[in-house]
Structure 1
Amino acid sequence: MESKLGNPAPLGLMGFAMTTILLNIHNIGFFPLSAVILSMGICYGGLAQIIAGILSFKKGNTFAGTAFTSYGFFWLSLVAVWLLPGLNMEVAQATPPDFLGLYLALWGIFTAFLWVGTFGKSKVQQFVFFSLTILFFLLSISLWTGNGTIHKIAGVVGVLCGSSAFYLAMAELLEEVKGKRILPY
């Protein structure tokens, strides 16, 4: 009996997309950081992307497996960075802005290499990784400089990045469901 594994990319992309959009609406300044963002970071941005990554590895797609599992663990670690100081453990103090900037810059470097891996793939996929690279570096710079304007600009870039991932997820999902390309990507 042959088992056919579906495309896990729409799940991973949606986990990334919706969580990224929500966090960056906060970064722009529309809403405070709240349980909505933290819950999405754990459940959909984190766990759903990890599941999509594991399934991507099973399908033989090392790029998607690495990207989805890495960003799933990014979301879990980011939520932990925010929540652990509230546990009043001596070793889990609040992260200084400069160090959080370094954390995000490392993710920016990682993402820049993944962006190079998208060359020759769809333009939308290239845009997702390019805009995510820019987002990580803008957030780093805003933390290093304390510049709120750069932070808001990063939020706009993040909403665009998340929206492009949302579009790509729907394009891939609809193509599989309808058996033909519905949305160009």
Structure 2
Amino acid sequence: MTTILLNVHNAGFFEINAMILAMGIFYGGTAQVIAGIIEAKKNNTFGLTAFTSYGMFWLTFVAMNFLPKLGLAEKTSNDALVAFLAMWGLFTLFLFFGTLRLSKALQFVFGSLVILFGLLVWGDATGNETIKHIAGYEGIICGASAIYTGIAQVLNEVYGRVVLPLGPVVK
């Protein structure tokens, strides 16, 4: 949900606001870190790495937007933002390779997230607002696919059968 809301902003519908930042802190950030810790207890290294990392991404993103307003840091320069997004894109690409042994749904989530980071880097590096808006729409698709994947995992577990397909897992 946090990804969708941020990308509704990226698509040009509204500015960064308290709703997006609050979702970044509590749902995108804190909740994902907790989910990652739970995955660690299940011996799921991929889930631990993905959830805690992206939880920290959201907390960092909020801090980058909030700290300058509090006078605690300078505003992040455009070059620094491009580097930040590029590093996250590279990290996501590496995680995408891990999804090749997981469901098709997770492959789509991570593949579309790699594309999203690439578009964000391209848009910010060039200052091209059209690319940034395209990134926003692509990010909405990415976020929606993550919601679908999460809900499918929950419903399939609750019902003990495939309610929403995730695609075959490659062994």
> Which TM-score band applies after superposition, normalised by the shorter structure?
over 0.9
Aligned to 1:64: 47
Mapped to 2, the partners of 1:88 and 1:38 lie a distance apart of 17
Question: 1:42-121 to 2 correspondence within 5 Å?
Answer: 42-89=25-72, 92-121=73-102
In the alignment, structure 1 residue 25 sits paired with structure 2 residue 8: yes
Aligned to 1:139: 120
Mapped to 2, the partners of 1:31 and 1:145 lie a distance apart of 21
Aligned to 2:109: 128
Aligned to 2:169: none
Tell me the secondary structure at the aligned position of residue 182 of structure 1. coil
The one-character-per-residue Cα deviations of 1:45-66 (angstroms, maximum 9, x if unpaired) are 0000000000101110000000
The one-character-per-residue Cα deviations of 1:5-36 (angstroms, maximum 9, x if unpaired) are xxxxxxxxxxxxx0000000010011111111
In structure 1, runs of 5+ residues without a counterpart are: 1-17
Number of residue pairs aligned between Structure 1 and Structure 2:
166
In the alignment, structure 1 residue 179 sits paired with structure 2 residue 160: yes
Q: Quote the sequence identity (%).
A: 57
Mapped to 1, the partners of 2:121 and 2:156 lie a distance apart of 37
CA shift for structure 1 position 120: 2.6
In the alignment, structure 1 residue 163 sits paired with structure 2 residue 144: yes
Counterpart of 1:140 in structure 2: which amino acid? V
Tell me the secondary structure at the aligned position of residue 68 of structure 2. helix
In the alignment, structure 1 residue 36 sits paired with structure 2 residue 23: no
